[in-house]
Amino acid sequence: MIVLGRSLYLRLVIRVGLVLVVSAVALLIAIWFSTRLAANAAYDRILTGSALSIAENTWYNNGAVNVDAPISAFSMLSAGDQVFYAVIDPDGRTVAGDPEFKLPIPWNKLADGPLVIRAVYLGLPVSIAIIGRRMPVAGPNPWAVIMVAQTNNGRESFTANLAVNASLVIIVMGLVTVIAAMFTLYQALSPLKNIGVAIQRRDLHDLSPLNIEVPAEIHPLISSINQFMHRLTVHRELMRRVIGDAAHQLRTPVTALISQTELLSMQTDDGARQRTIARLSERTHDLGTLVNQLINHAMVQHRADSVQMETLDLAKLARDEMTAMLSHFAQRDLDIAMLAPDVPCLIVGDKVSIREGIKNILGNALQYGAPTRLHLEIVPVSAYWELQLRDDGPGIAKVDWDRIRKPFSARSGDRLGASLGLSIVEEVMRAHHGYMRFEVAENHDFIVALGFKAIPSEPPTVVLS
C-alpha cells in the first residue's frame, strides 16, 4: 500500500524558505546593531566637535575662566534635539551655560582626552561629551570642564530610518530569492516526473532497463528500478520456461495414459487386460514422478533468488535426509555407512533446496545404482565441505556427465522423470555457488560429490590427495 506523503517540492520550498527567513532575521539584527553603532559613532564625533569648539574659546584671565561659546558649536548638532552645555572652572563653579546642568565629573580621566557618556537629564536620555582644558592654576584639578549634552532623538531616528530602508531591501530581495528558489526547485525535480512519464508510457511487457539521462543524485534510484525490472524479467522467464517445460514434457505421458485407458476399455481377454493395467499403472507412476520433479525443479529455481540464506550443518542435513530415504528401501540388503567430521560442517544456504539436492542424488543412487553398497562421506576440500556419495552401481558414462546436468536431456531406458533429477541438483549447487562433480574411484565405485562453501569463520582443513 502506497501512503501519499507531503509533496517533496513543498518540503524543499518550506525548508529553503525557513533558511531564508532565519538568514534574513539574523541579517536584520546585524544591520540594526551595526547601524546603531555607526550612528552613535557619527553623532558622538559631532558632539565631541561641538565641545572642542567651545573648549578652543575657553581661556584663563585675571584669575578667572572666561568662555566665548561660538554659535557654530551648536549649529552642527541636530535641529530636532535639545542641547545643554556647561563650562565649569577648576573650583567647580559654572562659568557658562546652564548652572543646573551638573554631573559627577571624572577628574582623573580628563587627561585622556574627550569622553562621551550616556546619561539621563531632566528625564531625557542624553549623550554627553566631556572635555577638560588645562588652566594655569595650582591645585589638584587644574581643569576647566566643558560638558555638551544632546538628546538622542536624532540618532534614534537616523538609526530607525536606515534600519527600515535596509529591511525593505532585504524583504524584497528575500521574496525575489524565494520565487527564484521555487522555480529552481521545480526545474531540479523535473527529472523525477520524466521518470514517471517514461515508465507510464512503457508497454506492459517491456521490462528492459530504463535508458534516460538523469542527475547523479537520482542515478541510484534508476539503478534500483532497473535491477528490480531485471529480477522481474528473470522470474517471468522462469515462469514461462516452467510452463513451457511442463506443457512439453506432460503432453507425451498424458497422451500415452489416455491411450492405455482407451485400450483397457476395449480389452476382453483377462490376460491382456492385466498386462494393460500393469502398463497403465507404470505410466501413472512415471507421470506422478515427472510431475513431482517438474514442481521441485520450479521450486528450486524460485527459491534461488527469493529465500533468505541461513547457517546450516551439512552433516545433520545429510544424515536426516539419508535416514528418511532409506526408510523406503528397508527391504534391500545394502552396506550403508555415513562418515562425517566430529565438528559441525557449517555452511550458508537454503535448507529446503539443499535437502532436495541431497534427496535427488540419494534417489538416483538407490533407484539406478548401489546394488550392494552405499556410502556417504563429508570431507573438507580447500574452502569447501564436500559431500561424497559412493555406490557400487554402474554409474553414469563419462560422455554423459555434461549432458545430464541439463534438464530434459535424453536418457537411456525411456525413464520419465530421471532426466530432471541431476539438473535439479545442478540448480541447487549453482544457487549456492558450489559445484557438482562425478568421479570413478579406483575400486570402480561411482562418486557424486557436492561442494558447499564453508563458513569463513571456521574454515575446513585442506585435504591433500
Residues 240 and 327 in one domain: no
- The CATH number for 152's domain is 3.30.450
Asked if 359 and 425 touch (Cβ cutoff 8 Å), the reply is: no
| CATH number of residue 435's parent domain | 3.30.565.10
The strand pairing partners of 128, in sequence order, are: 117, 149
Higher-confidence residue: 345 or 111? 345
Task: Check the CA dihedral 262-264-267-272 and report its sign.
Answer: positive
H/E stretch holding 422 reads helix 418-431
pLDDT at residue 413 in the model: 46
Q: Which long-range contacts (CB under 8 A, 24 or more apart) does 67-75 make?
A: 67/95, 67/96, 69/96, 69/97, 73/148, 74/50
**One domain for residues 344 and 452:** yes
Residue 34 counted as domain residue: yes
Same domain for 319 and 230:
no
- CA–CA distance, 115 with 137 (Å, rounded to integer): 23
Instruction: Report yes or no on 363 lying in a domain.
Output: yes
More confident residue, 284 or 460: 284
Domain identity same for 212 and 118: no
Do residues 373 and 432 both lie within one domain? yes
Query: Do 75 and 156 fall within a single domain?
Result: yes
Write down which residue in 306, 324, 355 finishes a domain: 306
Which residues constitute the domain of residue 261? 203-306
What confidence tens digit (pLDDT) does each residue in 429-462 have?
888 889 999 999 888 899 999 999 998 655 455 5
Q: Which residues does 420 contact at the CB level (< 8 Å), separation at least 6?
A: 290, 293, 294, 296, 297, 407, 408
- 334 and 287 fall within a common domain: no
Q: Which of 49-53, 232-236, 284-288, 304-308 has the highest mean pLDDT?
A: 49-53
**Does one domain contain both 400 and 294?**
no
Count the domains in the chain. 3
Q: What distance in Å separates the CA atoms of residue 304 and residue 427, rounded to the nearest whole number?
A: 8
Per residue in 8-41, pLDDT (tens digit) is 778 888 888 888 888 888 888 888 888 888 888 8
* Rg of the chain, C-alpha, whole Å: 51
> Is residue 293 domain-shared with residue 311, that is, in the same domain?
no
pLDDT digits (tens, 9 = 90+) for 305-358: 667 888 999 999 999 998 888 887 777 788 889 999 888 899 998 888 888 889
- Shared domain for 335 and 259, answered yes or no, is no
How far apart CA 397 and CA 334 sit, in angstroms, is 23
Q: Is residue 348 part of a domain?
A: yes
Q: Is residue 196 part of a domain?
A: no
Dihedral sign computed on CA atoms, order 176, 182, 183, 185 = positive
End position of a domain, from candidates 254, 276, 306:
306
**Quick check: is 283 in a domain?**
yes
In a domain, 423, yes or no: yes
Is 193 inside any structural domain?
Answer: no
Query: Rounded to an integer, what distance in angstroms lies between the CA atom of residue 225 and that of residue 9?
Result: 22
457 inside domain: yes
Where is the domain boundary, 288, 306, 324?
A: 306
**Residue 240 and residue 313 share a domain:** no
Same structural domain, 432 and 372: yes
Would you call 414 exposed, middle or buried from its count of C-beta atoms within 10 A (0-12, 13-18, 19+)?
exposed
- Alpha-carbon distances, residue 104 vs 58, 109, 123, 137 (angstroms): 21, 12, 17, 21
